[in-house]
A and B are shown apart, each in its own frame.
Chain A
Amino acid sequence: MYELLHQKISEIISVSDDEFEYCKTLFQPKKLRKKQFLLHEGEECRYTAFVEKGILRSYTIDEKGSEHILQFAMEGGWIADLYSFLTNEPSTYNIEALEGCELLLITKPSWDLLFEKIPAFEKYFRIILQNNLIATQKRLMGSLSETAEEKYEKLVASYPGHLQKLPQHMIASYLGITRETLSRIRRNISMRK
């Protein structure tokens, strides 16, 4: 249940067995079925979630009813609406399971307690948040300057082996392109190989 969390934490910081045992007591194990929600727009985001198994997406819905996907979270990744999580304000996002998921959830008070009791976790989450900020900036720049094909190729490189699990319309939504454009890009890439 905690194997991947332990592995991912150990890639960044060193924690003793006792420290990790304490860490486990602060996480809530949660299973979600496909299409169940971790968070609905308008709710306060009470948890940040580590993905032991499965895939989730976070998205918004605009006034016209169109979905805009902010993020996919795969195994070994984290997902939350950080703004809502840190400020207790209502979220503008929905977080949905795209397949059966096993998650480990931590609340803000437990997060703060973890930092207090095991200060090394401040470094761990600083690096996670740094990487998140870098990825967000790259995606923002990419959306302004890259071609649709370049965006797609970057996505494939970011989620190797996982893209075939995602519905095509969701990949298109994430990239901000139409399904037809996505099909054309994939056709062109496979013809080049």
Chain B
Amino acid sequence: MHQWGHPDAGLLLLYKKNEMVLHQSIAIIGATGKMGSALTKAIAGTANDLLVMGRDSHKLKKLSKSVVARAELIPIHCAKDACWEADIVILAVPANVETEVARKIKDVVTQKIVISISPDMGISLLQEELPNSKIIKAFFNNTPAELESAQLNNQTKCNVKGDDKEAVQTVSQLIVSMGLNPVVESIQAAA
């Protein structure tokens, strides 16, 4: 059994790496941005289907042609449609756009995990916009180039924070499958 985690973090999660099975549909909103496209490439190496959405259709077409995905990769032009099909949603958009996107997708993300990667947007603000979704903050401590590289060996940390334990565990499993080391922050410790 492998053990990851920062000894000073609030919580440690233990995983049996080879036993993790996560096959979900993951929507990446803002997939044509730097972090969005890096996340697309990192998740494309996992067993999850990807629904990639970006406002620039030319960049979206280029992205979907350039990525070799282990499962399905579907470019979609509408954020709502992408999130309706998805089990998990990643908002890879700037903080000042996150609220606008949240309002567009609100009706189709009830009970779904919505991951925000923006360091500038707190959980509570996004939770206000999406009261019936499971909001997770994921802080990727990598540059987009590092995420895209094949050198990840579950040593590079990614901080994960959220109220819903099961959602935190699911997102942590996803992060491990991407080749990163999830470090779960306790909500109480962070407060």
Give chain A's interface residues, CB within 8 Å of chain B: 1, 24-33, 40, 105, 107, 110
Contacts and interface: CB of A to CB of B under 8 A. Distances in A.
Interface string B99-124: 00000000110111000000000000
Interface in B6-50: 23
B110 A24 contact: yes
B84 interface: yes
Contact of B84 (A24, A27, A30, A107): A30
A29 B110 contact: yes
A28 B132 CA distance: 10
Interface of B: 23, 81, 84-85, 87, 107-108, 110-112, 131-132
B111 A28 contact: yes
Contacts of A105: 111
Nearest to A28: B111
A27 B110 contact: yes
Given A25-B132, A30-B85, A31-B85, A1 B107 contact: yes
Q: Which interface residue of B84, B107, B110 has the most chain A CB atoms within 10 A?
A: B110
Contacts, number: 29
A158 to B, nearest CB: 30
The 10 closest A-B pairs by CB, nearest first: A28-B111, A31-B84, A31-B85, A25-B132, A29-B108, A28-B110, A28-B112, A29-B84, A25-B110, A29-B110
A27 B108 CA distance: 10
A110 B111 contact: yes
A27 B81 contact: no
A105 B86 CA distance: 13
A31 B86 CA distance: 8
Contacts of A26: 111
9 contacts: A1-B107, A25-B111, A26-B111, A27-B111, A29-B84, A31-B84, A31-B85, A105-B111, A110-B111
Contacts of A1: 107-108
Given A25-B132, A40-B23, 17 more contacts: A1-B107, A24-B110, A25-B111, A25-B131, A26-B111, A28-B110, A28-B111, A29-B84, A29-B110, A30-B84, A30-B85, A30-B87, A31-B81, A32-B85, A33-B85, A105-B111, A107-B111
Contact of A29 (B23, B107, B131): B107
A105 B132 CA distance: 14
A63 to B, nearest CB: 23
B83 to A, nearest CB: 9
A32 B81 CA distance: 11
Contacts of A33: 85
A3 to B, nearest CB: 13
A25 B134 CA distance: 12
A132 B128 CA distance: 39
B91 to A, nearest CB: 18
A17 to B, nearest CB: 17
- B87, B108, B111, B112: which has the most chain A beta carbons within 10 Å? B111
A25 B112 CA distance: 11
A30 B23 CA distance: 15
A188 to B, nearest CB: 43
Contacts of B112: 28
Contacts of B107: 1, 29
A117 to B, nearest CB: 14
Contacts of B81: 31
Nearest to A105: B111
Contacts of A32: 85
Contacts of A40: 23
A28 B88 CA distance: 11
